[in-house]
Amino acid sequence: MKKIGIMGGTFDPIHYGHLVAAEMARAEFKLSKVLFIPTGTPPHKNRRDISAGEVRFEMVKRAIQDNPAFDISALEIEREGPSYTVETLRVLRRTWPEDELYFITGSDALLEIFSWREAEEIFKLIQFIGAARPGFDASDFFLKVQQEHPETQGKIHYLEVPALAISSTDIRARVRRGEPIRYLLPEPVRLYLEELGLYVE
Ligand code: NAP
């Protein structure tokens, strides 16, 4: 039985915080690989324009090219309509019926987990690794969740990732203000977004 990490996120853009989180999760949970899945049309996002799926996919592809344990899937980008995690997980379960799957994402995204479609079903399909920014403490929240929803017991894991002080929101704001973003994300990604003029107002 293998252990596989599924790294879900918008990745607009992907940055070193994401990459360090995936690598730390891989080592700590002994994952044989981490599959990055950029979201298609996120169901919960109408608050800002998100870069096209193909562009975010290309950024992730360039970012992970030098790590043989990282891979990418276009599953959500290619799917029509809103991207529900439960649907993605059902497809992945067919690929890996016997293996242990871990969904890695931002721990602040996990605070909303019970608003996700078929949240209870999701916990039958996968465990979670919440990658936390330094200073982020949601232990009370998760304790309460595990008390109220016994099916989540032992299925939400925490990983503090100091590199997550970097954020996609901050990178986009820096580009808008004409400030440097070098060393916050892999150079091939920086060159690509510069080439496309992404995030420039
Ligand atoms: P988001 O609201 O854009 O991000 C929430 C926070 O989590 C941000 O601080 C973000 O930082 C961080 N984050 C996001 N992905 C991360 C990752 N892989 N590793 C570390 N930090 C991460 O959340 P999102 O990216 O749209 O959604 C996260 C995942 O949850 C996606 O796979 C999405 O499909 C899933 N989701 C599913 C449903 C549903 O099925 N109904 C609803 C919501 C979310 P950065 O901005 O720096 O990335």
Phi-psi group of 97: left, alpha or beta (phi > 0 → left; psi -120 to 50 → alpha; rest → beta): alpha
Protein residue with its CA nearest to atom 13 in ligand 1: 106
Q: Look at residue 8 and tell me whether its pLDDT is greater than 70.
A: yes
**Considering Cα of 109, then 50, then 135, then 72, what sign does the dihedral take?**
positive
- Separation of CA 44 from chain center: 15
- Do 102 and 31 meet the contact criterion of CB atoms below 8 Å apart? yes
Per-residue pLDDT of 103-119, as tens digits, reads 999 998 888 888 899 99
Does the pTM of the predicted model rise above 0.75?
yes
What's the CA-to-centroid distance between 200 and ligand 1, angstroms?
A: 23
Beta-carbon contacts of residue 179 (< 8 Å; ≥ 6 apart): none
103 and 127 in contact (C-beta within 8 Å)? Answer: yes
Give the confidence band of 140 by pLDDT, cuts at 50, 70, 90. confident
Q: How confident is the model at residue 48 (pLDDT cuts 50, 70, 90)?
A: low
| Percent of residues, the chain, with pLDDT higher than 90 | 76
- Hey, which of 7, 10, 110, 169 would you mutate to test ligand 1's pocket, going by the most ligand atoms within 8 Å of its Cβ? 10
Reading phi first (left if > 0) and then psi (alpha if -120 to 50, else beta), residue 87 is in alpha
Distance 84 CA to ligand 1 centre (A): 12
Domains and CATH numbers, the chain: 3-167 (3.40.50.620)
